[in-house]
Amino acid sequence: MEQTLILTGAQAAAEAARLCRVQVVAAYPITPQSKIPETLAGYVERGMLKAQFVRVESEHSALGVCIAASTVGARAFTATASNGLAYMHEQLHWAAGSRVPIVMPVANRGVGAPWTILNDCQDSVSQRDTGWMQFYCMNNQEVLDLVVVAFKAAEKLLIPCMVCFDGFLLSHTFMPVAIPGQREVDSFLPPYVPFHALDPENPVNINPVVTSEPLADPDGVLSPGYMGFRHRLQKTHEQALEVIGQTGREFGELFGRSYAEPLFGYRTDDADFVFVAMGAIVGEAAEAADALREQGVKAGVFGLRVYRPFPARQLYEALRERRAVAVIEKAISYGYEGALTSELKASFYGKGGPAPVISNFIAGLGGKEVATSDLMQAANASIAAARNSTPPERAQWIGC
């Protein structure tokens, strides 16, 4: 039976892991995600979660434990942030290449140097090419829900998933969160059944060195070379949005909160101008859109819940009739612009027909406050660029 509790984002992530009946938790503390394993450790100690809680000496080891646990068929879970996520980089590639369905919340935090414990999305955006799916949460309800959705989608696709949410802005902020009943979650997410079984009587090598050309296995079946394995992972990513959408639709049918679409829309039906963003700043953009509406501007917001795999078709369909788009990003691809902006522009390449003028704004790095007035100024600059048909040549920085 569903109940509503007042939880931080970190507590919501831990509660979701409990509801998913994770079997192995490997943890190393780093602000602002430390409360997630702390909460889970308490659940294990009190008998509320039947899981192995493994204390490790680093984030690299935490993900290594999860890879091993998932390989032998356990539902595995960890969490991290910032430089901890960067320290996992090698293991991120290994997990995706091993096709293990680990789910890992990332409490987004700026990456040193210089040091900050405050929020931006540079940590997870810089890991977008490691082969993991990436979901982004606008509020604490989505933190809980998307962890549950992520486990089911990951286990269908055999791709690991990061569930990203803003450090402190969500991880340490209390909000009402509807907690699904355990029986309902169990019906949505049955026990994980691995696609292969390990048998001591029939030993096999897992992830051995492969050649560039396909080779026959001991049974004579032709197995891919290295590039073939990469191609398989890419093809699964290309099919993943459909699986994620179906999983989100099933979640909505059970719990009344649908995640069938990779985009969240706010006041977009008649909008000439829209913000595009990911994470908690989507809510701030919605406030700015309301203020712009009061000034007579037909403004709206699209928020990406799914960044990897990239929803290019959905973004193209949502934006092609708009006049102006302001992409607000808490990350920068150094030497050019925000990665989301580049990929959004690429979704229009070769399509022909109408297209908006797209402006990029970098904001909120290292916890820098982004006020409604800042976003309204960005909107006005974006609208002026569209009016003059002069797309900006580079990203513009807010509050720098």
Query: What is the CATH classification number for the domain harbouring 363?
Result: 3.40.50.920
The alpha helices in the chain, defined as continuous H runs, are: 9-19, 35-45, 59-71, 82-87, 89-98, 122-125, 140-157, 182-188, 226-255, 281-294, 312-319, 339-346, 372-387
Domain closes at, from 188, 216, 241: 188
Taking residues 43-48, report their average pLDDT. 97
Same domain, 149 and 272: no
Q: What pLDDT is recorded for position 199?
A: 83
Same domain, 13 and 153: yes
Q: What pLDDT is recorded for position 6?
A: 98
Q: What pLDDT is recorded for position 197?
A: 78
Q: Which of 70, 50, 52 is nearest to 192 (CA)?
A: 70
Domain closes at, from 164, 188, 212: 188
pLDDT band at 207 (very low <50, low <70, confident <90, very high): confident
- 198 pLDDT more than 90: no
Helix axes of 140-157 and 9-19: crossing angle, nearest 10 degrees: 40
Contact 107, 120 (CB under 8 A): no
Same domain, 28 and 134: yes
- The domain that holds 109 is classified in CATH as 3.40.50.970
| Domain presence at residue 177 | yes
pLDDT band at 219 (very low <50, low <70, confident <90, very high): confident
Q: Which of 344, 307, 236, 320 is nearest to 271 (CA)?
A: 320
Rounded Cα gap, residues 80 and 167, in angstroms: 11
Q: What pLDDT is recorded for position 82?
A: 98
pLDDT band at 249 (very low <50, low <70, confident <90, very high): very high
pLDDT band at 370 (very low <50, low <70, confident <90, very high): very high
- 184 pLDDT more than 90: yes
Q: Which of 319, 156, 316 is nearest to 239 (CA)?
A: 156
- The structural domain count of the chain equals 2
Q: What pLDDT is recorded for position 205?
A: 81
| Domain presence at residue 253 | no
Rounded Cα gap, residues 173 and 183, in angstroms: 28
- Residue range 373-388, pLDDT digits in tens: 999 999 999 999 999 9
pLDDT band at 365 (very low <50, low <70, confident <90, very high): very high
- 203 pLDDT more than 90: no
Does the pTM surpass 0.75? The reply is yes
- 298 pLDDT more than 90: yes
Contact 81, 123 (CB under 8 A): yes
Local structure of 255: helix, strand or coil: helix
- 1 pLDDT more than 90: no
Q: What pLDDT is recorded for position 133?
A: 98
pLDDT band at 211 (very low <50, low <70, confident <90, very high): confident
Same domain, 148 and 44: yes
Same domain, 184 and 282: no
- Could you tell me the two tokens for 332? 């920068």
| Domain presence at residue 204 | no
Q: What pLDDT is recorded for position 297?
A: 98
pLDDT band at 7 (very low <50, low <70, confident <90, very high): very high
Q: What is the largest CA-CA distance in the chain?
A: 73
Rounded Cα gap, residues 397 and 390, in angstroms: 18
Taking residues 254-261, report their average pLDDT. 98
pLDDT band at 14 (very low <50, low <70, confident <90, very high): very high
Q: What pLDDT is recorded for position 208?
A: 83
For residue 163, the one-letter residue type is V
Same domain, 54 and 160: yes
Specify which residues 223 forms β-bridges with. Answer: 215
pLDDT band at 204 (very low <50, low <70, confident <90, very high): confident
% residues pLDDT > 90 (the chain):
90
Domain that holds residue 42: 3-188
Helix axes of 35-45 and 9-19: crossing angle, nearest 10 degrees: 40
pLDDT band at 217 (very low <50, low <70, confident <90, very high): confident
Contact 329, 338 (CB under 8 A): yes
